[in-house]
Structure formats: structure tokens, C-alpha cells
């Protein structure tokens, strides 16, 4: 059948099972939007307020559902506005296809109106990028884009299409999507080496990263941990892969990880890294990280092996597949003295905060209690992000969505819209500081336009909290450009954008506000006023060993 390039774009999206896209139209992509109009009963389009919001929404949709997120934008500034969202997805291995349209082929390379080499711009932050200049290769290019985005270590792919290609016609033949092979190329010898170091371990520790979620391996992770009889810590990206209520779960590791995780990993004799990349925020001083331990690193991306930390044993492949094979061959391990020691550390060093006044940890604990840990939590980046990781109990994968690698302020509202669009039956809550909220608050208009019932909790301390914390501890309390005292009323802003708004200034107002927001079934902003000098503890100074973790009590005793 003969189809225009624009129609081929839509048909390929349908082939791939895409039922929602996030985007913003413009001149170069008008043909695609015209074709989309004719298929609006099959593909739901969410018109965001800004292209960055579209990229973050596609990212949140992908993280929450496990499907490929799709965003679209026109040429020039439309395309460049996607860049931060694409980079966010790239750093956190999120499957996304970004479709942009460019000027016509004769105008390429001539500094034409709204012309940008977006494939060149995004080359370092995509798994792959295409410029389509021939309608005859358009369908296969789009199919390759989806396959690349999903295969191996997932990530974003960009497809830029010249406008004349979207207008041209060619023969189109539907195809079923290719199956995804994720097993990897490890050997029996790799498995044998892993089993050997496991069998010799007296003090093992499991360190979980985002790969545990991306591979769908949460059940295997839990079975492996039980058979190894090992404590478990995680990264931001690994939240929910292991049950946050399990006695041997010790919380996050790294700069704002728990004392138990940081001290335990520093003492262990075997560290099993599952789908983790040894980020600098996790390992601190690399030369001192887990220096008493053998390192067993399992990851689908061979480039991560020995990149930041040397692995004594490594297996490159799909985590779910590898753990299934290891579990089948492992003997049941018993490490009673070691696990008892870790439990003692948990009792000795619990997370704690000042509960005499309204604080972010209290708000998150109340949210956890009211939602019974079953909400999807998105966050922006900063103190609130760390508190959300520390004080909400994540028991299922794909329930904590946050920008880990890039640290993108303004990520959360778009991601929350995407998550709620993909998971309409889940309560979806974005937790963001007032500094982050300002960046993309216009996406509240998107939520109200479509009546997407997200809940935005603003942790409002009138400062850039995490930067201020560093200025307090390491910069002599010189608060350069981190104070946000002004006349902005976020409740009025929210109401002006079509959302309900609730202001919270005391602890007793928190639970009623959350319960009301859930019951309203519409977009709601809860503006929570907390003290400006609350700090996230524990903390590891930049460049220090994670064993040098300290908390408020340690600081007070100095």
C-alpha cells in the first residue's frame, strides 16, 4: 500500500504498540501531526507546555510501564528543547524514541529558518541517531530505532526526518516488531568463577542498580539474596527491585546512603554488584571503596566492567537470565554472624530527623502510610529527592522515578504526567523543592488540560536546599544566589493553571491534605512550608571514603 512519509510514521508507531505520544507541533512536523489527527482514536497525543516536558513525560511513561516512551517536536528550538530530557534518559538507560522533523532536504546545511543539526547535537546523549532523507528507508529506520532503544542496555534514539520526506510517498508494508534478545555473551566459565567467589564469601553484600529493574529481575534478585543470605543495599535507580521492608535491606548506599549500607559495604568480603555502574555518588573515593572485598560485577553493558571499579569476576549479560542460572546451581548459604552484625548496625544507626516540626521526612512518611507504599513517586533533584529515597518504602519495581545520572531539576512534573498516563490506576505523586518546581511548573497546565490527576508536593523552604546545605557545611555559610525569598504564591499559581491547591504549614495538616488530594481526582498542588536549614543526613563529603559517612549527631559532637 502506498503511504506518505507522515502516514508511515504513524503506522510504524502503531506497529510498535505505541498508544500515547508526548509532543509539541511546529512547521516542519506539521505533516506528521496532520496524519496523527486522523488516528487520534488509536494514538493519544499529550500536548505538553514545553518540549522539555514532553521528553520528561516520555521518560516517566517508559520508566513506569517498561515500554518505549515516544516524544515528538519540530525543527530548531523544538528539537533542542528535547535535549535535556534526552540526556536524562540516556544517563539512566531509559528506552525512548524522539522523533523530530527538519527543514526540507534542499535547505539542509544552509542556516535555514529553524534549522538545527539535531542528530549532531544529540550524538553524545543517544544510543543512536538517524537523519532520514529518503522516504523509502523511513519505515525500516523507525523500526531500527525502537529495536535499539529496547535492546541490550536501553536508551534513547533520535530520528530526525526532513519535511519533504514526510510529504513524499512510497510503498509501505507492515511488519511485526523484532523480538528482543537480551541474554548476552557470557560463558560457562564466567558462571563457574562467580559461583566460586560466592561459595568462599563469609561477609557478602549485594549492591543493586537500575539494571535490576530494567531486566525485570526483581524476583530473581530477591531469591538470590535469600540463597546467598546477604544484606542488600541499592542506588536511586535500584529502588523497588528489593523489598524496602525486608530485615536485610539496609537502604541506599553512597553520598546520602545509610550508615549501615556504607559501613557494611566497607566491611564486606564480597560485593555483588547487580546491574549497577559504580557511580561516583555511590563509591566516593574509588581507591578506598570496598577495599576488603572481592568484586563480582554482573551487567549487560560490557563498557561498565572495570570502568570505575576493578571487578575480580564479571559476567556480561541479562541479569534476570544470569541470576536464574546462578540460583539453580547455588547451595543455600548461611552467614548468621555477618547478618546479625548488619542488623545491629541497622538498630544502632537508624535514619532519624527532628520530628518537633514540619519536615520533608515527616511528609514522606505520612505519604507512605496513606498510600501504603503503593504509589508511583517521581521526584525532582535535591534534598527532597534524597528524603524520598530514604523515607518511602519501595516494595515494587518501577515505583520510584528520578533523574539519577544527570540530576535534572525540573524533571518531576513531566515524568509524573507520563507515569500517570501509562499507569492510570496508580496514585502518582511528584515531590519537588520550590527551586525545581519553578523550572517546569508550566506543565501543571498540561495536567489540568487533560485532567490528569497527579499530586505535586512542593517542599518549600524558600532556598535551593541542597546547594545551601553544601554552602553551610563547606562554604562558610556564604549563601550566594541560593535564597528564593520573593512574592511568588505557588497556590495561586497552581489555581491559575487550573489545578487545586492546598497549603500546609503544620504537621497536623499533612495527612488531611494528602487524603484530600487523592480524593479530588484532579491535579493538586500541596505547598508545604518547611524550615530553610533542614539537612539531608547521613552524608559523605565529596572525595571521601563512604566509610567516613556522618550524620547530624556526628556534626554536633565535633
Residues 198 and 251 occupy one common structural domain: yes
Residue 143 lies in a domain: yes
If asked whether residues 99 and 212 sit together in one domain, one would say no
Residue with cell 555511590: 282
Q: Output the CA torsion sign for 205, 207, 211, 212.
A: positive
Asked whether residue 470 is assigned to any structural domain, the reply reads yes
pLDDT single digits (tens) 392-403 = 999 999 999 999
Same domain flag for 512 and 478: yes
Is residue 101 within 8 Å of 162, Cβ to Cβ?
yes
Q: Are residues 384 and 317 in the same domain?
A: no
Residues 6+ apart with CB under 8 A from 296: 194, 197, 198, 270, 271, 272, 273, 311, 312, 313, 314, 315
Report yes or no on 177 lying in a domain.
Answer: no
Residue 234 scores a pLDDT above 90? yes
pLDDT tens per residue across span 510-546:
999 999 999 999 999 999 999 999 999 999 998 999 9
pLDDT in tens, 86-96: 999 999 999 99
Annotated active-site residue in 15, 67, 114, 522? 114
Report cis status (omega within 30 of 0) of the bond before 537.
no
Give the pLDDT of residue 26: 98
For 378, residues 6+ apart whose C-beta sits below 8 A from its C-beta are 60, 401, 402, 411, 412, 415, 416, 419, 428, 429, 430, 431
Spell out a b/e string for 59-97, using b for 16 or more CB atoms within 10 Å of the CB, else e. Answer: bbbbbbbbbbbbbbbbbbebbbbbbbbbbbbbbbbbbbb
Question: CA dihedral defined by 16, 17, 20, 25, rounded to 10 degrees?
Answer: 30
135 and 195 fall within a common domain:
no
Average pLDDT over residues 304-333: 97
The catalytic residue among 38, 42, 44, 113 is 113
* Alpha-helical runs (H) found in 269-318: 280-283
Structural domain span for residue 368: 360-539
Helix (H, G, I), strand (E, B) or coil at 377: strand
Final residue of a domain: which of 305, 324, 348?
A: 348
**Residue 258 Ramachandran class (φ > 0 left, ψ -120 to 50 alpha, else beta):** beta
> Is 354 inside a domain boundary?
no
Same domain, 294 and 385: no
**Averaged pLDDT for residues 345-367:** 97
CATH number at residue 272: 3.40.50.1220
Residue pLDDT, tens place only, 145-183:
999 999 999 999 999 999 999 999 999 999 999 888 776
> What is the number of domains present in the chain?
3
What region does 212 belong to: left with phi over 0, alpha with psi -120 to 50, or beta? alpha
DSSP-assigned letters across all residues of 479-532:
-TT-B--SS--HHHHHHHTT-EEEEE-SGGGHHHHHHHHHHH-S-EEEEEE--T
Q: Are residues 269 and 385 in the same domain?
A: no
In the predicted model, is pLDDT for residue 57 greater than 80? Answer: yes
Exactly one of 7, 11, 22, 51 is catalytic; which is it? Answer: 51
* The pLDDT value given to residue 491: 98
DSSP annotation of 178: P
For the question of residue 466 being annotated catalytic, the response is yes
CATH assignment of the domain containing 131: 3.40.50.970
* pLDDT tens digits, one per residue of 268-296: 999 999 999 999 999 999 999 999 999 99
Segment 427-438 shows an average pLDDT of: 98
Are both 369 and 338 inside the same structural domain?
no
Distance (Å, whole) CA 435 – CA 458: 9
Residues 367 and 344 in one domain: no
pTM for the model stands at: 0.97
Domain final residue, candidates 326, 348, 370: 348
Catalytic residue chosen out of the listed positions 466, 471, 535, 537:
466
Catalytic residue among 150, 163, 346, 535: 163
Domain check: are 35 and 154 in the same one? yes
- Res 184: pLDDT: 75
Q: Does one domain contain both 200 and 339?
A: yes
With respect to residue 550, please indicate whether it lies within any of the assigned structural domains: no
The per-residue pLDDT for 179 is: 87
Amino acid at each position: 500500500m502506498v503511504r506518505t512519509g507522515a502516514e508511515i510514521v504513524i503506522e510504524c508507531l502503531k506497529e510498535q504498540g505505541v498508544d500515547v505520544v508526548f509532543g509539541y507541533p511546529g512547521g516542519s512536523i506539521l505533516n506528521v501531526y496532520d496524519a496523527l489527527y486522523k488516528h487520534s482514536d488509536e494514538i493519544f497525543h499529550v500536548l505538553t507546555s514545553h518540549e522539555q516536558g514532553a521528553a520528561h513525560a516520555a521518560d516517566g511513561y517508559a520508566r513506569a510501564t517498561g515500554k518505549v516512551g515516544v516524544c515528538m517536536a519540530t525543527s530548531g528550538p523544538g528539537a533542542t528543547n528535547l535535549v535535556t530530557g534526552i540526556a536524562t534518559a540516556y544517563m539512566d538507560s531509559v528506552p525512548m524514541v524522539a522523533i523530530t522533523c527538519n527543514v526540507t532536504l534542499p535547505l539542509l546545511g544552509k542556516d535555514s529558518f529553524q534549522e538545527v543539526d539535531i542528530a549532531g547535537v544529540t550524538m553524545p546523549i543517544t544510543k543512536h541517531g538517524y537523519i532520514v532523507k529518503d522516504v523509502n528507508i523511513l519505515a525500516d529506520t523507525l523500526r531500527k530505532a525502537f529495536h535499539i532503544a529496547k535492546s541490550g542496555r536501553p536508551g534513547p534514539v533520535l530520528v530526525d526526518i526532513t519535511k519533504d520526506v514526510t510529504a513524499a510517498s512510497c510503498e509501505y508494508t507492515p511488519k511485526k516488531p523484532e523480538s528482543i534478545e537480551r541474554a548476552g555473551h557470557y560463558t560457562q566459565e564466567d558462571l563457574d568463577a562467580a559461583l566460586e567467589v560466592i561459595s568462599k564469601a563469609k561477609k557478602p553484600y549485594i549492591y543493586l542498580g537500575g539494571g535490576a529493574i530494567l531486566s525485570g529481575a526483581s524476583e530473581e534478585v530477591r531469591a538470590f539474596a535469600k540463597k546467598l543470605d546477604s544484606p542488600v543495599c541499592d542506588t536511586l535507580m535500584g529502588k523497588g527491585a528489593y523489598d524496602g521492608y525486608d530485615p536485610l535491606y539496609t537502604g541506599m548506599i553512597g553520598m546520602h546512603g545509610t550508615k549501615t549500607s556504607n559501613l557494611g559495604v566497607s566491611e564486606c568480603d564480597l560485593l555483588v554488584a547487580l546491574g549497577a555502574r559504580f557511580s561516583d555518588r555511590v563509591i566516593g573515593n574509588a581507591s578506598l571503596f570496598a577495599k576488603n572485598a572481592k568484586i563480582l560485577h554482573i551487567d549487560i553493558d560490557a563498557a561498565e566492567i572495570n570502568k570505575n571499579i576493578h571487578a575480580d569476576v564479571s559476567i556480561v549479560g541479562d541479569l534476570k537470565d544470569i541470576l536464574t542460572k546462578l540460583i539453580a546451581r547455588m547451595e543455600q548459604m548461611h552467614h548468621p554472624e555477618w547478618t546479625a552484625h548488619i542488623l545491629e548496625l541497622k538498630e544502632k544507626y537508624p535514619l532519624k530527623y527532628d520530628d518537633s516540626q514540619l519536615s520533608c521526612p515527616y511528609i514522606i512518611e505520612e505519604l507512605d502510610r496513606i498510600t501504603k507504599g503503593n504509589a508511583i513517586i517521581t521526584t525532582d533533584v535535591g534534598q527532597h529527592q534524597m528524603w524520598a529515597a530514604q523515607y518511602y518504602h519501595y516494595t515494587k519495581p518501577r515505583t520510584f522515578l528520578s533523574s539519577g545520572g544527570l540530576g535534572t531539576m525540573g524533571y518531576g512534573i513531566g515524568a509524573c504526567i507520563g507515569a500517570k498516563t501509562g499507569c492510570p490506576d496508580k496514585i502518582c505523586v511528584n515531590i519537588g523543592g520550590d527551586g525545581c518546581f519553578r523550572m517546569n511548573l508550566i506543565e501543571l497546565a498540561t495536567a489540568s488540560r487533560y485532567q490528569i490527576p497527579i499530586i505535586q508536593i512542593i517542599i518549600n523552604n524558600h532556598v535551593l536546599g541542597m546547594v545551601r546545605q553544601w554552602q553551610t557545611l563547606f562554604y562558610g555559610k556564604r549563601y550566594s544566589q541560593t535564597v528564593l525569598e520573593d512574592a511568588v504564591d505557588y497556590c495561586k499559581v497552581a489555581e491559575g493553571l487550573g489545578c487545586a491547591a492546598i497549603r500546609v504549614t503544620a504537621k497536623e495538616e499533612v495527612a488531611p491534605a494528602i487524603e484530600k488530594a487523592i480524593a479530588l481526582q484532579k491535579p493538586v498542588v500541596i505547598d508545604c512550608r518547611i524550615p530553610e536549614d533542614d539537612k539531608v543526613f547521613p552524608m559523605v563529603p565529596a572525595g571521601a571514603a563512604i566509610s567516613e559517612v556522618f550524620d547530624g549527631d556526628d556534626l554536633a559532637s565535633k
